Amino acid sequence: MASLGVLVPARFLALTAHLVAVLTILWAREPHVLASLPLEFAPEEYARADTELLVALGTTVALLALELGGFFAGVSMFHPPQALLSATAHGGATLALGFFLFERWGCGAYWGVLGAGSVLPAATELLLLVVVLGCKRKRL
Amino acid sequence: MAGVELFSHPAFRTRYRAGLCSAAALALLLIGALTYVPPLLVAYRSHGFWLKQSAYLEQPTVRFRYEVLFVATTGPGPGSFLAWSTFPAFNRLQEERLRVPLLSTREEDKNQDGKMDQLYFKLELPLQSTEHVVGVQLILVFSYQLHRMSTFVMQSMAFLQFFSPLPGSHLYVNGDLKLNQRQLLNHCGLDTRYNVSVINGTSPFASDYDLTNIIAAYQDRNVTTVLSDPNPVWMTGRAADTPFIINATIHYPMEVILYQPGFWEMIKFAWIQYVSILLIFLWVFGRIKIFVFQNQVLTTTPISPVLPVSPVLTYKLHQS
């Protein structure tokens, strides 16, 4: 299918860009943790906020790993609707994380980006994995 | 034909049909939402979407109201001062401390634009040879008006205070009458909140002429004027029987006035920002839509129009 020539690299680029953005935030968490805390805070509060962001970022990396796994294994590489959804969601999430980085948003904003940009395409990817591997069907 | 027409493009002459609950219809809805909502989020989250304040430049229309309150300190004692004002009630309260000075003022419109640019104020206080001035407190009252956005009218003052350990003969002051805003002005209408006297000249009570009370009441206002950078020059060595002289030049400079923009100004700036970002999204998602439907990423039924057959073609077909 001619569309795959565009969709596959687009999806790969969007996934990689999202991964790079997440790793960048992972290495420079402090401003975001501070942004989600009041002016004066206890070390425990800092640790809790840091853990919250770490969990959110870890979840994103895990979901990205799931998608990349499905993508490289060939389960969803030649599935245009999934490629379209995944490329759009991860492209949008990358843009949102650009804002997150430059505007120093707090941890709370990350969950929204996670929900729309990672959970949605990962859920459909999981569905595809179940259908293809579990039910032994070639296509959904 | 089942379904509804979801997409067509004039350049490709093909219409794409699918059911209302199909993946293609859902994708179209999603693309529509992604086209119109994110520009709003981008414009809003990058700050400055709603214009909350704005500024303009205007030279105020200032006129000296010929209202003066003057106190010259002549020594360290509690009653050692000389005073005079343009308010008869205040003067009556001073009794033997009242000393009437010779006053000359002139306002000048240097650039002939109909607005005064500076005030020359000269006060000569006659003194006895035994009297020495060590400090001066002076209040000048102005009428201050702004016209460009809202019409703002107020009575304001310039307060000048100078003390020296050495008795003086001459005080030279040169400064600006600057506007001090604690609050944004309106963008339209008439604002006369502070068009009230700085000094209640008709009051017979001494407390109304107390400098502390006058300044306290004045500083309660959200918009005031202040004599900025007065650069006082205190000259000593007064010859006997010569008056103490205050020479003041007060400029009325151009002001940057902060105001609250009106509804249409706010909407205009929000619209400019939204549409300029929306154009990029419209272009990108337009291309995505064409790509999706042309390449049948999501299943639809393409319908190519039956082109009108040209007579030449018909003839050739007939011949063969």
Q: Is the pLDDT of residue A67 over 80?
A: yes
Cβ-defined contact of B46 to A99 (cutoff 8 Å): yes
Mutate to test the interface with B, among A85, A88, A128 (most CBs of B within 10 A): A88
Amino acid of residue B274 = Y
First to last CA, chain A: 16
Residue of A nearest to B281 (CA): A92
Q: Which of B30, B42, B291 lies at the smallest CB-CB distance from A6?
A: B291
Burial of A129 (0-12, 13-18, 19+ CB in 10 A): middle
Measured CA to CA, the distance from residue B306 to residue B293 in angstroms comes to: 20
Distance from CA of A23 to the nearest CA of B (A): 23
pLDDT in tens, B9-34: 777 778 888 888 888 898 899 899 99
Give ipTM to 2 decimals: 0.77
Measured CA to CA, the distance from residue B25 to residue B37 in angstroms comes to: 18
Kindly report the average pLDDT of chain A as a whole number.
89
DSSP state of B98: B
The DSSP bridge pattern shows strands B244-251 and B151-181 to be parallel
Q: Let me know the angle formed at the C-alpha of B24 by B21 and B28, rounded to the nearest 5 degrees.
A: 100
pLDDT in tens, A7-65: 899 999 999 999 999 999 999 889 899 988 888 999 999 999 999 999 999 999 999 99
* Tokens describing residue A138: 């070639």
Distance set, CA A76 to CA A18, A62, A129 (Å): 18, 17, 8
Q: Is the dihedral of CA B20, B21, B25, B29 positive or negative?
A: positive
Cβ-defined contact of A3 to B291 (cutoff 8 Å): yes
- Three-state DSSP at B154 gives strand
Amino acid of residue A40 = E
Percent of chain A with pLDDT over 90: 54
Measured CA to CA, the distance from residue B48 to residue B41 in angstroms comes to: 12
Window 9-48 of B, Cβ < 8 Å to A: 23, 27, 30, 34, 38, 42, 45-46
Q: Measured in whole angstroms, how far is the alpha carbon of residue B165 from the centre of its chain?
A: 41
Q: Which of A1, A83, A88 lies at the smallest CB-CB distance from B34?
A: A88
Residue of A nearest to B293 (CA): A3
What residues of chain B lie within 8 A of the CB of A95, using their CB? 38
Amino acid of residue A92 = G
- Three-state DSSP at A120 gives helix
CA dihedral A82, A85, A89, A92 (to 10 degrees): 140
Q: Are B156 and B144 in contact (CB under 8 A)?
A: yes
The mean per-residue pLDDT over the stretch A96-112 comes to: 88
The DSSP bridge pattern shows strands B190-191 and B151-181 to be parallel
Distance from CA of A6 to the nearest CA of B (A): 9
Q: Which of B42, B46, B297 lies at the smallest CB-CB distance from A81?
A: B297
Amino acid of residue A62 = A
pLDDT on residue B1: 47
pLDDT in tens, B140-175: 999 999 999 999 999 999 999 999 999 999 999 999
Q: Are B244 and B170 in contact (CB under 8 A)?
A: yes
Measured CA to CA, the distance from residue B240 to residue B189 in angstroms comes to: 56
What residues of chain B lie within 8 A of the CB of A7, using their CB? 297
pLDDT on residue B23: 85
The mean per-residue pLDDT over the stretch A82-106 comes to: 90
Q: Give B71's pLDDT tier (boundaries 50, 70, 90).
A: very high
* Tokens describing residue B175: 């400064």
H or E segment to which residue B171 belongs: strand B151-181
Q: Give A138's pLDDT tier (boundaries 50, 70, 90).
A: low
Helix boundaries (H) for chain B: 23-45, 88-94, 211-219, 263-294, 311-319
Nearest of A20, A1, A2, A4 to residue A91 by alpha carbon: A20
Burial of B205 (0-12, 13-18, 19+ CB in 10 A): exposed
Distance from CA of A40 to the nearest CA of B (A): 25
Q: Is the pLDDT of residue B303 over 90?
A: no
Q: Which residues contact A9 (CB under 8 A, 6 or more apart)?
A: none
Q: Which residues contact A137 (CB under 8 A, 6 or more apart)?
A: A131
Measured CA to CA, the distance from residue B179 to residue B227 in angstroms comes to: 9
Q: Give B180's pLDDT tier (boundaries 50, 70, 90).
A: very high
Burial of A110 (0-12, 13-18, 19+ CB in 10 A): buried
Count other Cβ atoms within 10 Å, centred on residue B252. Answer: 25
- Crossing angle between the packed helical segments A43-73 and A107-114, to the nearest 10 degrees: 20
Q: Which of B34, B295, B298 lies at the smallest CB-CB distance from A2?
A: B295
Q: Let me know the angle formed at the C-alpha of B265 by B261 and B267, rounded to the nearest 5 degrees.
A: 120
B277 touches chain A (CB under 8 A): no
Nearest of A32, A29, A26 to residue A62 by alpha carbon: A26
